[in-house]
Structure 1
Amino acid sequence: MKGEYKTKARNMIVDYLKANADKRFTAGDIVKALSESGATIDRSTIYRNIDRLCEDGKLVRYKENDVNGACFQYSEGHGSCHQHMHAQCANCGKIYHLDNEIFAGAEEKLKEEYGLEIDFGKTVIIGKCEDCNK
């Protein structure tokens, strides 16, 4: 395991990630937010830190159809994000960690009827959360 460097830039990036742990975001979102906060962090530094955080298992990288490039989710404290499904509010972007047992019957049916195996870590169900439905 590589040593972890605690630079000012890395700390600012991790602070952003922790503040947005229940949302998905892109590298561009991080660049924009840090720039708007007055931080002068080079874009390549942000991308390098994203790559390192993904390698370390603190960020989950996935592709969404409505977004160009990769989306990320901060997963520290949810080390098994690659092993369970997520739901996301289409309105506010909040992410929920789902129990795979909820989908056991559907998983079996998809495999049986279509030969399709679910990749839980890359599966996101889109809906509207309780707060946004009010």
Structure 2
Amino acid sequence: MYKTKARDAIIKYLEANTEKRLTAREVFDGIKDSIEGVNRTTVYRNLDKLCDQGELVRFKDPNQDAWYYQFSAKDMHCDKHIHARCSRCGRVFHLDDDFVVDFIDKLQTEYKLDLNTAKTMLVVQCKKCNRIAIPIDK
């Protein structure tokens, strides 16, 4: 994939927002003023290519008709751990501690199941949202 201004701007924008879930429209809105002449089609095409190359993770919210994108830095190993998203504020958490590693190993060894971690998203309510006593979405 060619390095273009749009591609670089998308990566930079997603890198700066690693704790947020972002739709293609939100990415477009975030970069449109920094690149002259960029359009939605260019953003969608670049997002798809970056996902195919493993630089971004794409996931579907089952409660909405939208795909969400997240930066997947090689050093973050987003393809090797599970993500959780707060159902209230949208913050994304990288769950890569020993418990998660053990869980993934147990799925493979005891249940003979392979978990596609790049497409796995747990829906949670974060500590901050719990503190303001907002009930979790069902």
TM (norm. structure 1) is 0.73
User: Structure 1 stretches of 5 or more lacking a match?
Assistant: none
91, 97, 102: which one aligns with 2:99: 102
Amino acid at match of 1:92: C
How many residue pairs end up in the alignment?
129
Correspondence 1:118 to 2:115: yes
| 1:67-106 correspondence runs (5 A) | 67-99=64-96, 101-103=98-100, 104=102
User: Structure 2 stretches of 5 or more lacking a match?
Assistant: 132-138
TM (norm. structure 2) is 0.71
> What corresponds to 1:47 in structure 2?
44
| 1:16-31 correspondence runs (5 A) | 16-31=13-28
> What corresponds to 1:5 in structure 2?
3
Deviation at residue 96 of structure 1 after TM alignment: 1.1
Q: Is residue 111–residue 117 contact of structure 1 (8 Å, CA) maintained in 2? A: no
Separation (CA, whole Å) in 2 of partners of 1:29 and 1:53: 16
Quote the RMSD (CA, aligned, Å).
3.0
State, as a whole percentage, how many aligned pairs show the same letter.
33
> What corresponds to 2:136 in structure 1?
none
Deviates more, 1:39-48 or 1:84-93: 39-48
Deviation at residue 19 of structure 1 after TM alignment: 2.2
Q: Is residue 89–residue 129 contact of structure 1 (8 Å, CA) maintained in 2? A: yes
Deviation at residue 46 of structure 1 after TM alignment: 0.6
Deviation at residue 42 of structure 1 after TM alignment: 0.9
